[in-house]
Amino acid sequence: MEDFNKLQEELKKLPKYSLEIDQKAKVLHSLRSQQNSPKKTFFLAPFFTVIGMCSVLFFLFFTNEATNKLSAHPGTVFTLPDRDQEVVGVEGKIGILVFKEQFVAEDMRRGSKLMLYYWGDPNVLVGKKYLVEAENKKGKKVELSRGILSDGLYIEDAHALANFPPFPTEGEWQLSFYVEDVLFDAFTIDVYPPFPKTEHYTLLDSPRELPVGEIFELYIESTIGEKEEIDVQLIDNKGNLMEETIFQRESLGYRNSQEIYLYKGDITLKDHGSWKLIIDGEQTGLFNN
């Protein structure tokens, strides 16, 4: 800009007959255009870059949502009349016998030794290959089980004993059931967040399953069991001590050749909110009930 002003002053000093006014204007306009041109490029380049990035993100966002939209209806809990058992699934088609009719992320306990019940034509079910696959809204897929369907044990037309791997994340998952690679039925479930845990202790009940305002018996699993009893404190999200109780050691078990100890005690969640536990001096993260 300084060079342009200097040149403009020099033009003014020229003899009047050297250039007409309109000719001077053309020269100045040309010089100004050349000087401003790089600046326009400088400012417009980032602008168009941002517009391009937004367009790509917009496309990816809506493409991803469309690709991973779950199409099945939510599963329901229904009772098997011949044995008074509750299962989750699609009544008259498919049912899963699982503890409390609920899965918890990262938990291998509830997924072990499940019963899968099928209703339909036994001729197209019994002795056929089955596959159970899970998918969430982010497109993450997990193969839950595969094998051969057996005769029904009771009123169902076919069944299978299965072991599901842990669901890697909480949230909505669609379970699809295939027989001989053909979709038999599907439904969605809400997988709860992982159990609250510390380095050596894990709560075996989901906070979402605990009744509000009632004394509830809880179990805590531990990989160390030197103590007959452990101190458990309930802390609210402001750091206030709401309850303190003693859990007693109940039993000893094994998982993958590792000793597992169970402690039992009572806790009362007086309201819905965010909480944490301090178990034998070890602190869990915040969890919601």
Please tell me the predicted confidence (pLDDT) of residue 17: 45
Weakest mean pLDDT among 17-31, 150-164, 165-179, 190-204: 17-31
pLDDT digits (tens, 9 = 90+) for 122-142: 999 999 999 999 999 999 999
pLDDT band, very low/low/confident/very high, at 53 (cuts 50, 70, 90): low
Please tell me the predicted confidence (pLDDT) of residue 2: 56
CA atoms within 13 A on the CB side of 86: 8
pLDDT band, very low/low/confident/very high, at 253 (cuts 50, 70, 90): confident
Protein fold of 76-191: Immunoglobulin-like (2.60.40)
Q: How many Cβ atoms from other residues are within 10 Å of residue 193's Cβ? A: 17
Residue type for position 182: V
285-to-43, 202, 203, 222, 236 alpha-carbon distances in Å:
47, 11, 12, 17, 11
Angle (nearest 5°) at CA 31 between 25 and 37: 130
Please tell me the predicted confidence (pLDDT) of residue 1: 55
pLDDT digits (tens, 9 = 90+) for 139-150: 999 999 999 999
pLDDT band, very low/low/confident/very high, at 57 (cuts 50, 70, 90): very low
pLDDT band, very low/low/confident/very high, at 28 (cuts 50, 70, 90): low
Matching fold, domains 76-191 and 201-288:
yes
**Among residues 127, 147, 136, 151, which one has the least CA distance to residue 105?**
136
- Which segments of the chain does DSSP mark as H helices, in order? 2-12, 21-67
pLDDT digits (tens, 9 = 90+) for 72-131: 999 999 999 888 899 999 999 999 999 888 999 999 888 888 999 999 999 999 999 999
Whole-structure pTM value: 0.71
> What is the CATH number assigned to the segment(s) 201-288?
2.60.40.10
Burial of 58 (0-12, 13-18, 19+ CB in 10 A): exposed
| Mean pLDDT (the chain, rounded) | 84
- The domain ranges of the chain are 2-67, 76-191, 201-288
Mean pLDDT of 215-240: 93
Please tell me the predicted confidence (pLDDT) of residue 49: 53
